[in-house]
Amino acid sequence: LQVVFFALMLGFSLTRLPDARARPVMELFDTLSDAIIAMVHLIMKIAPFGVFALMATVVASLAGMGDDMSGLSELAAEMGKYMAAVVIGLFFHALLVYFPLLRFVAKVPLLKFLRAIAPAQLLAFSSSSSGATLPVTMECVERGLGVDEEATSFVLPLGATINMDGTGLYQGVAAVFIATMYNIDLSVGQQLQIVLVAALASIGTAAVPGVGIVMLTIVLTQIGVPPEGILLIFAVDRPLDMCRTVLNVTGDATVCTVVAA
């Protein structure tokens, strides 16, 4: 967060300098950005092997080594509960936050809403990307719910970028799960920090597959839980990503309908 803040301040300050003074710095950052992307591409080539090795280490140390497999099956059971907690949480969020908003504020019948945005939800589920789903979300909200383009073209792109309730909720559950697996007791203060930082991290999460888990490292670092704990949930992240993206897209459509109303 300090880095993001500094970057914002620097960018803002650069806009206050004469163009000729600011341009070299901006060009330098452009080139640095390209160089870092090239570096990431190189790293991505060996990343699968590194992730494999790291995951094996984390699972072995948390499941306990030895001949009997009980540690491993216990760990698998805990993972199952963790996944169920995320999915149930997402469901209840829609039920307790979005549906009342639609029913009582936007005054849109729930069935009509669900029928209208089903294609967007399906695409969100299969692509795990609110960004890729955006054109379909816009069409569903415009055609199916009759919302004006003036509202959809502003609210939906903004929502796809920053409104990620599913991701924030998932990051909260994941942070508590990882802390528990490391036998770390979280104080009330730390739990409140999770809420705040997960909300911020979800805003910073890009609308593409698998970024939520990367941003989770920020939450873990903030509350003093080893960030390598994410390796524990790495293998089961994709199905959860599919589900949280559905909620993210549903949230965008809900807010857009409410704003239009």
Sign of CA dihedral 44, 61, 80, 114: negative
Sign of CA dihedral 96, 99, 105, 107: negative
Contact between 254 and ligand ASP per CB under 6 A:
no
Contact between 121 and ligand ASP per CB under 6 A:
no
Contact between 167 and ligand ASP per CB under 6 A:
yes
Q: Which of residues 7-26 bind ligand ASP (CB under 6 A)?
A: none
User: Among 129, 137, 163, 250, which residue sits at the site for ligand ASP (rule: CB under 6 A)?
Assistant: 129
The count of chain residues that interact with ligand ASP, using the rule CB under 6 A, is 16
Nearer to ligand ASP by Cβ, of 133 and 222: the residue is 133
Q: Which stretch binds ligand ASP (CB under 6 A): 99-107, 151-159, 181-189, 240-248?
A: 240-248
Q: Which of residues 46-65 bind ligand ASP (CB under 6 A)?
A: none
d(CA 201, CA 204): 5
Nearer to ligand ASP by Cβ, of 204 and 226: the residue is 204
List residues near ligand ASP by CB under 6 A.
128-130, 164, 167, 205, 207-212, 241, 244-245, 248
